[in-house]
Amino acid sequence: MSCFWNEKEETMSRHEMELLQSYRLIEMVRRIYNNVPFYKQKFDEAGIKPEDIRGIEDLSKLPFTYKQDIRDNYPYGLFCAPLEDVVRIHASSGTTGKQTVVGYTQKDINDWSDCVARALYSIGTRKNDFVHVSYGYGLFTGGLGLHYGAERMGAITIPVSTGNTKRQVQIFQDFGSSIICCTPSYALYIAETMEEMGVDKSALSLKAGFFGAEPWTEQMREEIERRLGIKARDIYGLSEISGPGVAFECIEGKGMHINEDFFIPEIIDPDTGEVLPEGSWGELVFTTVTKECIPLLRYRTRDISCLTYEKCECGRTLVRMKKPSGRTDDMLIIRGINVFPSQIESVLLELGYATPYYQLIVDRKGNLDTLEVDVEMTNEMFSDEVKGLESVEAEIKRALDSTLNISAKVKLVEPKSLPRVEGKAKRVIDNRKA
Ligand code: DLL
C-alpha cells in the first residue's frame, strides 16, 4: 500500500517539480496582474510585465508582499477572485488592532485539505483512524484546517476544539482517538491532566500527533512522546499562505516537507532581500502558485528557517525546512495566539492609560505560557485609592481578553519603576527561552 496521499506530486523529480512550479507561476502572475490593482501597481512601479516571468528562474524579479500590505488592503482588497466564488474567511492578528483577513474559494479549500491530508497520511493516519482535533475552531486556521484535511483523507474526525481538558481525556478513552492535533504546549497540558486523572496512556489508542502553530523544541518532543506514548511530529503553516500544512514532518521527523507544488519557498537575507543558497538560515518567503482567492507573491513570513533538498528516507522529494528558529519581528506566540507588543500598547492607549511605559513578561508555568502585563501608573493614578487601581487592572485585563483574545495577568506598577533605556525599549522579557 502506498504511503503517500498524492504520490505523484510528493515524489516528483526536481526537474518535474520545477516545470510544474514554473507553469503554475506564469499562470498565476498573469491572473494576479489582471485582477488585483495593488499588484498591478507594484508591477508597473517596478517596470515588470507578466510576460517577464517565464519560469521560477524569474521569481526574484517579483516584488515582496508584507503582512502590512494585507492590512492596508483590509479586508478584501487583495482578493483575486470574485466574492461570489469565495466560500470561507479566516483571519489572524495584524501588527495593530486589525486582523489579517484571508479568503478561500472551494478549490483553495480542496488544495489546502490535500496539503493537510498529505501530512496526516505521512504519519500513518488511515481511514479507520480517529483524528482528535484540539486546535481552536474559528477564525484561527488550526481547527478547521486539520478538520478538513482529516475528512479529505476519509479518517474519522473528532472536532473537539480547545479547552475542557478533562473532557479531552475522556474522549480519548471513550471514542478511541488515535491521532491528536493541538499546540505542543496544550499536548503537555493534556498529558499532565491525564496523569492527574490517573489515566494510563497504554490503555489508550493514541499513536501519533501533529503539533504546531508555535515554536517547540526537541526536548518538548521527547516529553510529549514519552508522556502520551505517541510519535510527535511538527506541522507548520500560516493563515496568509493557507493555514496548517504548508509544511509537515513525515514519520522520519527530520525537517518539514514543504508542499512546494502549491507554495514555492525561498530563503532570503531579511535585511537586503537577497536570495540565499541552500543550507543558509534566513527569512522564509513563500509564493503561492495555485491559490485563487488570495494568491501572494514572495510573502515575507518573518520566520527564520533553512531549506534542504537532500533526499529523505521516506521517499518524498519535497524540499524540507528546519524548525523555525525565531522571527525577524517582535511577534509573540502565547498559547498558540499571535500577539504583537504594539497591539497591547494600542489597547492600553485606547483605554486612556497613556503612559508609554509597559513591559510584557512571558513565562511558562507547568506547560502553559503565561503573560503578565506590567503597566506603569501616572502620578495621578498612583495617588488614587487602592480599590480604584484594582478595577483599572481588571478593566485592562478584560480589554486584552476581548480585543486580543489573550488572558493576561495585569499589574499596575509605581511611577518611574520600569527601566528607562536609551535606544529601543525592551518591552518583552521572554523567560520561556531561558
Ligand atoms: O499558526 C497555522 C497553524 C495552525 C500551523 C495549526 C500549525 C498548526 P497563524 O496563526 O497565521 O497560523 O500563525 C503563523 O505561527 O508564521 C510561525 O511564526 C508560527 N508557527 C506556525 N507553525 C509553527 C511551527 C498558524 N510548527 C505563525 N513551529 C508562523 C514554529 C510555527 N512556529
For the record, the C-alpha cell of 18 comes out as 520545477
Cis peptide bond upstream of 75, omega within 30 = yes
274 DSSP 8-state letter: P
Pair 92, 140: CB distance under 8 Å: yes
Burial of 114 (0-12, 13-18, 19+ CB in 10 A): buried
Ligand 1 contacts CB of residue 213 (under 6 A): yes
Predicted pLDDT at 390: 87
Report helix, strand or coil for 343: helix
Predicted pLDDT at 416: 82
Ligand 1 contacts CB of residue 141 (under 6 A): yes
Predicted pLDDT at 421: 64
- Encode the chain (434 residues) as per-residue pLDDT tens digits: 578 999 999 999 999 999 999 999 999 999 999 999 999 999 999 999 999 999 999 999 999 999 999 999 999 999 999 999 999 999 986 545 578 999 999 999 999 999 999 999 999 999 999 999 999 999 999 999 999 999 999 999 999 999 999 999 999 999 999 999 999 989 998 999 999 999 999 999 999 999 999 988 898 899 999 999 999 999 999 999 999 999 999 999 999 999 999 999 999 999 999 999 999 999 999 999 999 999 999 999 999 999 999 999 999 999 999 999 888 998 899 988 889 888 888 888 888 776 668 899 999 988 889 999 999 887 777 776 665 888 889 999 999 999 888 899 999 998 888 877 665 567 899 998 65
What separation in angstroms does the CA of 162 have from each of 137, 143, 185?
8, 9, 12
Predicted pLDDT at 379: 78
Predicted pLDDT at 217: 85
Ligand 1 contacts CB of residue 181 (under 6 A): no
Predicted pLDDT at 190: 94
Closest C-alpha residue for ligand 1 atom 13? 238
How much is the CA Rg of the chain, to the nearest whole Å?
A: 23
Q: How far is the CA of 245 from the centre of ligand 1 (A)?
A: 10
Ligand 1: nearest atom to the Cα of 215: 30
Ligand 1: nearest atom to the Cα of 234: 26
Ligand 1 contacts CB of residue 237 (under 6 A): yes
Q: How far is the CA of 199 from the centre of ligand 1 (A)?
A: 30
Pocket test for ligand 1, best of 141, 144, 339, 405 (most atoms within 8 A of CB): 141
Strand partners, 263: 288
Strand partners, 235: 212, 248
Per residue in 298-333, is it b (16+ CB within 10 Å) or e — as a string? bbbbbbbbbbeeeebebebbbbbbbbbeebeeebbb
CA separation for the pair 6, 317 (Å, rounded): 12
Predicted pLDDT at 360: 94
Ligand 1: nearest atom to the Cα of 337: 10
Q: How far is the CA of 239 from the centre of ligand 1 (A)?
A: 8
Ligand 1 contacts CB of residue 235 (under 6 A): yes
Predicted pLDDT at 200: 97
Residue 85 CA neighbour count, 13 Å, CB half:
14
E strand map for 253-323? 256-258, 263-268, 282-288, 299-305, 307-308, 320-321
